[in-house]
Each structure stands twice: as C-alpha cells, then as structure tokens.
Amino acid sequence: MDANGPSRVVIVGGGFGGLNAAKALAGQPGIDVTLIDRHNHHLFQPLLYQVATAGLSPADIATPIRTILRGRPRSRVLLDNVTGVDFAAKAITTASQTISYDYLILACGARHSYFGHQEWEEFAPGLKSLEEATEIRRRVLTAYELAEKETDPERKRQLLTFVVIGGGPTGVELAGALAEISRQTLRRDFTNIDPGRTRVLLLEAGPRILASFDPSLSAQATADLERLGVGVWTESRVTDITKEGVFLGDERVRAATVLWAAGVQASKLNQHLGAELDRQGRVVVEPDCSLADNPSVFVLGDQAHFAHDPKNPGVPLPGLCPVAIQQGKWTARNILRELKGKPREAFRYVDKGQMATIGRKRAICEIGKVRFRGMFAWLAWLLVHIYFLIGFRNRLMVMLNWGWAYLTFRRGARLIVSKDWRAHDEIQPL
Amino acid sequence: MDANGPSRVVIVGGGFGGLNAAKALAGQPGIDVTLIDRHNHHLFQPLLYQVATAGLSPADIATPIRTILRGRPRSRVLLDNVTGVDFAAKAITTASQTISYDYLILACGARHSYFGHQEWEEFAPGLKSLEEATEIRRRVLTAYELAEKETDPERKRQLLTFVVIGGGPTGVELAGALAEISRQTLRRDFTNIDPGRTRVLLLEAGPRILASFDPSLSAQATADLERLGVGVWTESRVTDITKEGVFLGDERVRAATVLWAAGVQASKLNQHLGAELDRQGRVVVEPDCSLADNPSVFVLGDQAHFAHDPKNPGVPLPGLCPVAIQQGKWTARNILRELKGKPREAFRYVDKGQMATIGRKRAICEIGKVRFRGMFAWLAWLLVHIYFLIGFRNRLMVMLNWGWAYLTFRRGARLIVSKDWRAHDEIQPL
C-alpha cells in the first residue's frame, strides 16, 4: 500500500459483486475507488429473461453505474475493457490506459460455455447481456411473423418450435415465459397460425431440471411446465446445433429458435492470472476471497471458486447473486479492517435460499429445509426481485409492467428491432 | 372490384396514415383488410427523439400492429417488404408472396435524404426508426464515456461536440434534449470532464429555424435554445460530413457526434409507380388522394404530394402526423362511400396547428393566428402527445417517465447497448 496517499482500490466489473464492494468503499476516508466495466450500466441479471421474452424493457432492469456511485468523493467509473493484470507492478491495463492499485477486486462474472462448440452460439444465443436478450426477443417474435406467412407445413412447424437448452433456473424461466407467450400473449393475434400449437421444449442433460433444488420441487416445476405445454426432456444431451435445429445423438428436432442456458465459464481474464483454476475456469480463492500468492487481489462471484463454506467444505459456492453480493460487501469490509490494522476475516456465506419462477402464479422456493410453491412462492419471488432491483424508477416501472401484464395477459415490449440500424428495408431472417 | 366477394383493401405501411385507414376499414362488412409493414410495431414518431436522447424506452412509443388490429374480422397483418406494384394485375408483390387488391393504400412515409451524399449517413444518422434512435443514444452516451478517458484536449473537445443538422422540429427537439443532457442529466456524473462545457450546435441552411412557424416563434425558440447553451447557426449549409466532423465551406467543426435532421425523401417504392413525382420524390395525388391513372390506388401522408388544399392551392401539405391521420381516415371513408355506390369526396385538411418543444418548460405552439410559448405551450405539448399515443400502457409509462425525469432531472433509459449482440468484449468506437 502507498503510505503517502490514500489506498487505491480498483474494481473490475459492475455486477452484483463489484458494485456492492464499490458502494461499501466509495467515499470512505483514505480510499480511492476506480470501478471499471465494459457496460455503462449495472444489469439486474435475474430479470434478463423477461427482456428476452418481451415482458420488460432493457432500461427497466439496468441502471447507469455512474448514477449509482454519483457524488461519492474520490471515486470514479470507467467504461473500459481490462486486457491484463500485472501483479508484480500492481497495475491493470485496459484498452486505453494502465491503472495502479493497492487492492484489486476482480468481479467479472461468467460468460456462456458451449463446451468447446463456440460455433453453436450463432444458432443458440445465451442470456447474459441486454444485447443478447434483445436478439432473443427479435428471434422469438420474428419466428411467429415468419410462420404466419409460411405455406410449407414442415417449415411452419420448425418456425413454431422453440428449444431451450439447460434446465437450470434461467432455462426454466425462459421455457415458462415462451409457453405463456404462445398460449396467452399471442393467442388471438394471428390469422394463419395458432400460436397455441407452438412447441416449446426444455432440454436437460441431467436426470432432472433445477437440480440444485430439492427433488420434490423439481418435480413440481416439471409438472407446472408441462401444464403450460412445455415438453421437459431430461437425460437429453445435445450433440449438435445447426441452423436447422438441434441433434440429440441420432434424434433430431427442427427448430428455428434455439436458446442456450446450459453452461457458463468464468471470464477470459482468468487465463492471464496465473492462478489455479477449476474445471469451469473459475479462480480458486482463499477463505477471504483473495489469491493465495497475491493477498491484495480478491476474486468474487461467478469468477471465483470459493470452497471454504463450513457447511459443505470443499464444495464451491453456487453462481448465485447472493454469493456475489455478500462477497462484495465482505471484501470491502476486510479491506477497511486491514487499513485500520485489523486482521481480515474469512468470508461466511449466509444461505438465503433459492427460488425460480415457472410462470403466472407458479414458482418454487427453498429456504433451508423450508420449501413452498405455487401462488405463495410466486408472490415471494415477485417481492424479492422488486426489492433487490436498484433504483426507485426501475422498481416502479417493473411493478407497473407486471401489474399490467397480469391483468391483460399482454407483454409490454413486443418489439422486433433489427440487428443493424442501417438495415432500413429488410426483414432479417432467423 | 370483385363482385363475387368482399373487396380486398391492401394497405402498405403501419404509420399514422395506414394505421388510421386500417382501423376505419378493418371489420367493416364486405371488406378484407391486409396491412403490410416492415416492422411489427406502429411507431409514435413525434417522441422518437426522446428515445434517441435516453428519455424513453423504445417500447414506450411503439405498439404491436397486431395488437391494435386484433379481433377485427377479415383483417390480417403481414410483416413484409413490398417490392413492387402491378397496377394492370391489381396486385402487389412482397419478398414472400403476391397479393391482389381491389383498393390499394400506399402509406410508406419518408426516409432520410442526404441530398445525394448517402455516404454521410454513416457519420450522421437520422431519426426515423427505433434502431436509429438506439444507435444515436449509443453514440451520444458513448461520447461522454470516451471523453472521460481522453487525455488529448483537442480529441476531448471533439468528443464533447454534438452537431445537429437541420432546424426543423426534430432538429430543435434533439438539440434541446442534448443540451439538457449535458447541463442537467450528466452534470455530476463525471470526474475528468465537465459535461456542462459540451458544445451543442444546431445547423440550419435557411435564414431561421422552424421556418414553418411564425418568425416571432422561431425567434423565441432560438432564444430558448441559446439559453440552454445551444449554438444556433443559421444560413449554414453543410458541404461535407466525415468521421472528423462537419464542413461548412472552408469552415470546419470537429465533432464526434453528428445527427441528421435536415431532409427527407419519399419511399423508394415511388420510383416504381410510374406516377408523377415532385422534387422530394413524393407522388402527386388527386384531390381524393388517389392516382390520376389508377383511381383504385391511394397515396397518403409523407409519401404523397397533395396540393389541393383550398386555403393554399398548389402548395403541398406539410409532412405532419395530422395530415397522414386525416388522409387515412378520409380515404377509408371514401372507399366505404364508393362501396355503397356514393361518389368520393375531395380530401379537406383541417389544420390543427403545429407545436415544437425546446426542453423543460419551453415550447412553442401555433394554432391558426393563435401563438403561444413557454410553460403553457410546453404543457399543451405534453398533453397533446400523451393524448395521441396509442395504448393505455404507453401513455402511463410515458407520463411516469416524464414525471420522474421532471422531478429528478434524470433520464430513464441511459443505456449504451452494443451494435452487435455477439460483441461481448469490445467497447465500440464512435
């Protein structure tokens, strides 16, 4: 640490981990905070699937990072890409400059893993950014428009087939929303097709969906999805994805829209850290979330492999928002302690439980041994997500959108926007 | 008309003209309506500049055309591009099919005219579509982010210079909003730059801005803009636009962000109609908005040159929403009259006046001889635009966004979204 001046804390990533660390540190005496992110906004990932399914607008779940940190003395926000870290020089390099740090907090999150088949991304976008959500929305809504004009029955069936790969919470929420769009939102809007006949398939390689939940809740979610008309295929490993659809061994499903919710891997940056990585490319961290060889460097959230939870030692914490939020706050606290000459404390995760929504009035919650589902779980899901949304405006807008959608069965953001702002004349194909 | 069946009315374009014709005709006995548009949504153009300046979300000013026309018997909506019209066969061709008509209503609107310099578009996007609005928003917000990181003072000044070309209502509204963003929204959000020092220039080739208004209101608008810190340059004709900025003869202004609000020309389709066109490429129409040689074809709104207004014969009606709306309704009425064996009636335009807003509490209104400005004009502007917005949800969302923005001086949609959904790692340059 630089004895002559304030200690410089550089935070990479404005997600749940980085933002919570920044909020706890920015403005504290003796600390300069620099938060670097590729995007100008903090994104509320848990509701991203609703942007992808036309329920919410991008702006409803995103807040400018500058606004969140505005007015904090000695703190700045940079829109930039971190290209490398130099532990020896205690500096990071971005596309535009080099920035020295006394403490470095890496919270870059995760990106999609196509298990070595990056070429699948073109045919099966994942759901991590607003851009991807808008692209998924474009594909979903365009599929119905093309089906309405299609005369070839086989092609029409292909256009009205939506495949979601991956039975985790995101996959379940996407599949449920796609089913509701077909059965409710669009039901009366087309003349040549019956959106109600849309095929929605949820493919899961494992024996059950929502494997992180209790089996009884997985079963409930499966029943709820099936009641919505979703085909839930477990033990179904995708072997190839093409423009035509998905392959499962010698099985083949023709689908114009395929969505990827199967696997994630940690940020590319990890490969340049020279630290121990796990199979998903996450950095193995110490009990205080720091690096074994570089105690002034912390790695948080989806980017980190934290396996020091007393309840299940050796088992890494899951990639959930609460983990990132708590690690961000805890790390800020440890830095403040150290600056006061106190020792750091090992991170302790408080398990707040987990929840997933399947659709209107359908959700599952698991809090320790307590499990509930249905209407009550759905209301709990709504409240928790509204509560954790950042910004009064976003909370209000989301509540109003949800209220309106609940009453009308409509979706407020049914927009097809082109991929190219200069493509004035062409309808873009799927 | 086909005596054995209902008459088939094909409407091209879901803007103000086409949509109002469709709403008046769809569901009427003895009429099949087909509405064709390139977009799945009707766009409320007058508020598009607020999407471009981060005040509103795209979904707030757009409504799915299917939803507007849902439940009307014997009416259908097609997402398609019209590629040609065959008057002899009474059929139009789209990218996917051929559709016969008894009556054809063309309401394709206008697109930007770069006066033969299409290459300028890349450096100076115009404001006609949601895609363009989002791209403009990206450029405006990114310019500040890049300026925050910029060390070279000249480049920084270039990044903090915004040039709007064209002093019509759109140009004035854009320039006013850009000034408010710099002076109010972003004022406290940056550490290395003072957004308050942003240069906003409004360039007008003619002697005054808002030339369609009374000179006293033009003067008022100029004063309001200058009070906001906008440089209003009249008699300033742009001779070139490059990546570096704009040229006015031998004058040169370095600007990273240049917006085009100068000229429009009618839809490309007009060149295939074999009808008489005016200088802006608009189709010269008869008093009933039909084509001289093809009375079963009507051309409306910005696509048409209608010069039969008794008040100023020979002078074409301006490209304003009310003209398109009234022509759409009138044409529907004439078709219904004719089907009842009654003669058509010549279109009579009811001038509702015009208004433009400069910014917070600043606007001008001109209704016949009545002129007013300032707070009252601004409130009138707000009410009129809320009233004409389609859909309860949109009205509510826009009102809430405006109320929130009025109280907080913030903007609800401050999002930089990448041009490419697969550009995961890169900040896109201007």
Determine the pLDDT at residue A237.
Answer: 96
Q: Which pairing describes strands B110-112 and B62-64: parallel, antiparallel, or unpaired?
A: unpaired
Give catalytic residue positions of A. 173
Q: Is the pLDDT of residue B88 over 60?
A: yes
Q: What is the pLDDT of residues A153-175, one digit of tens each?
A: 999 999 999 999 999 999 999 99
Q: Is the pLDDT of residue A4 over 70?
A: no
CA distance A367 to chain B (A): 35
Q: A295 or B416: which carries more pLDDT confidence?
A: A295
Residue B317 banded pLDDT, cuts 50, 70, 90? very high
* Rounded (10°) angle between helices A392-408 and B392-408: 170
Q: Closest by alpha carbon to A9, among A95, A68, A72, A67?
A: A72
Interface check for B59 against chain A (CB to CB < 8 A): the answer is yes
Sort out which chain A residues have CB atoms less than 8 A from B66's CB and list them.
186, 189-190
Q: Which residue of A has its CA nearest to B146?
A: A79
Interface check for A395 against chain B (CB to CB < 8 A): the answer is no
Mean pLDDT in residue range A18-32: 96
Determine the pLDDT at residue A251.
Answer: 95
The answer to whether A122 touches A114, Cβ cutoff 8 Å, is: no
Mean pLDDT in residue range B156-166: 97
Mean pLDDT in residue range B306-310: 96
Determine the pLDDT at residue A295.
Answer: 96
Q: Which residue of B has its CA nearest to A131?
A: B421
Q: Closest by alpha carbon to A386, among A376, A398, A378?
A: A398
Sort out which chain B residues have CB atoms less than 8 A from A43's CB and list them.
none
A24 C-beta neighbours (distance < 10 Å), count: 18
Interface check for A389 against chain B (CB to CB < 8 A): the answer is no
Sort out which chain B residues have CB atoms less than 8 A from A148's CB and list them.
78-79
Residue B416 banded pLDDT, cuts 50, 70, 90? confident
Q: What is the pLDDT of residues A392-417, one digit of tens each?
A: 888 888 888 888 888 888 888 888 88
Amino acid at B212: S
Sort out which chain B residues have CB atoms less than 8 A from A58's CB and list them.
57, 413, 415, 417
Measured between alpha carbons, how far is A187 from A180 in angstroms, rounded to an integer?
A: 10
| H-only helix segments in B199-312 | 215-227
Query: Mutate which of A80, A93, A97, A131 to disrupt the B interface (most B C-beta within 10 Å)?
Result: A131
Determine the pLDDT at residue A263.
Answer: 85
CA distance A425 to chain B (A): 7
Share of chain B above pLDDT 70, in %: 98
Query: Mutate which of A77, A151, A414 to disrupt the B interface (most B C-beta within 10 Å)?
Result: A414
Measured between alpha carbons, how far is A323 from A305 in angstroms, rounded to an integer?
A: 11
> What would the two tokens of residue B102 be?
């008894």
Mean pLDDT in residue range A241-249: 96
Mean pLDDT in residue range A195-218: 95
Determine the pLDDT at residue B134.
Answer: 94
Q: Is the pLDDT of residue B2 over 60?
A: no
User: How far from the centroid of its chain's Cα atoms is residue B226's Cα?
Assistant: 24
Most confident region among A243-257, A405-419, B376-390 by mean pLDDT: A243-257
Least confidently predicted of A236-240, B155-159, B265-269: B265-269
Is the Cα dihedral A377, A378, A383, A386 positive or negative? positive
Q: Is the pLDDT of residue A429 over 80?
A: no
Are B427 and A191 in contact (CB < 8 Å)?
A: no
Q: What is the pLDDT of residues B185-214, one digit of tens each?
A: 998 899 999 998 899 999 999 999 999 999
Q: B19 or A409: which carries more pLDDT confidence?
A: B19
User: Which residue among A81, A149, A424 places its CB closest to the CB of B78?
Assistant: A149
Determine the pLDDT at residue A25.
Answer: 98
DSSP state of A290: B
The answer to whether A385 touches A47, Cβ cutoff 8 Å, is: yes
Measured between alpha carbons, how far is B322 from B300 in angstroms, rounded to an integer?
A: 11
CA distance A71 to chain B (A): 7
Interface check for B32 against chain A (CB to CB < 8 A): the answer is no
CA distance A213 to chain B (A): 31
Mean pLDDT in residue range B364-376: 93
Sort out which chain B residues have CB atoms less than 8 A from A134's CB and list them.
417, 421
CA distance B162 to chain A (A): 20
Sort out which chain B residues have CB atoms less than 8 A from A71's CB and list them.
188
The answer to whether A175 touches A225, Cβ cutoff 8 Å, is: yes
CA distance A217 to chain B (A): 34
Put simply, the chain A residues between 233 and 252 with a CB less than 8 A from any chain B CB are none
Are B420 and A131 in contact (CB < 8 Å)?
A: yes
User: Whole-model pTM above 0.95?
Assistant: no
Put simply, the chain A residues between 307 and 336 with a CB less than 8 A from any chain B CB are none
Sort out which chain B residues have CB atoms less than 8 A from A57's CB and list them.
57-60, 413
Determine the pLDDT at residue B420.
Answer: 80
User: Which residue among B66, B131, B148 places its CB closest to the CB of A189?
Assistant: B66
Are A41 and B414 in contact (CB < 8 Å)?
A: yes
Query: Mutate which of B416, B426, B428, B430 to disrupt the A interface (most A C-beta within 10 Å)?
Result: B416
Amino acid at B310: P
User: Which residue among B59, B424, B425 places its CB closest to the CB of A413?
Assistant: B59
Put simply, the chain A residues between 68 and 97 with a CB less than 8 A from any chain B CB are 70-71, 76, 78-81, 95-97
Share of chain A above pLDDT 70, in %: 98
Calculate the average pLDDT of chain B: 93
Interface check for B121 against chain A (CB to CB < 8 A): the answer is yes
Interface check for A64 against chain B (CB to CB < 8 A): the answer is yes
Least confidently predicted of A356-365, A412-421, B158-167: A412-421
Our CA dihedral for A69, A73, A78, A83, rounded to 10 degrees, sits at -110
Q: Is the pLDDT of residue B257 over 60?
A: yes
Q: What is the pLDDT of residues B216-236, one digit of tens each?
A: 999 999 999 999 999 999 999
Helix (H, G, I), strand (E, B) or coil at A210: coil
Mean pLDDT in residue range A186-196: 91
Measured between alpha carbons, how far is B287 from B289 in angstroms, rounded to an integer?
A: 5
Are B427 and A111 in contact (CB < 8 Å)?
A: no
Share of chain B above pLDDT 90, in %: 81
Q: What is the pLDDT of residues A50-67, one digit of tens each?
A: 999 999 999 999 999 999
Query: Mutate which of A425, A426, A430 to disrupt the B interface (most B C-beta within 10 Å)?
Result: A425
Q: A242 or B430: which carries more pLDDT confidence?
A: A242
Are B67 and A424 in contact (CB < 8 Å)?
A: no
Interface check for B113 against chain A (CB to CB < 8 A): the answer is no
Calculate the average pLDDT of chain A: 93
> What would the two tokens of residue B372 be?
């007013």
CA distance A177 to chain B (A): 18
Q: What is the pLDDT of residues A103-128, one digit of tens each?
A: 999 999 999 999 999 999 999 999 99
Measured between alpha carbons, how far is A217 from A357 in angstroms, rounded to an integer?
A: 11
Determine the pLDDT at residue A424.
Answer: 66
Tally C-beta pairs within 8 A across A and B.
Answer: 167
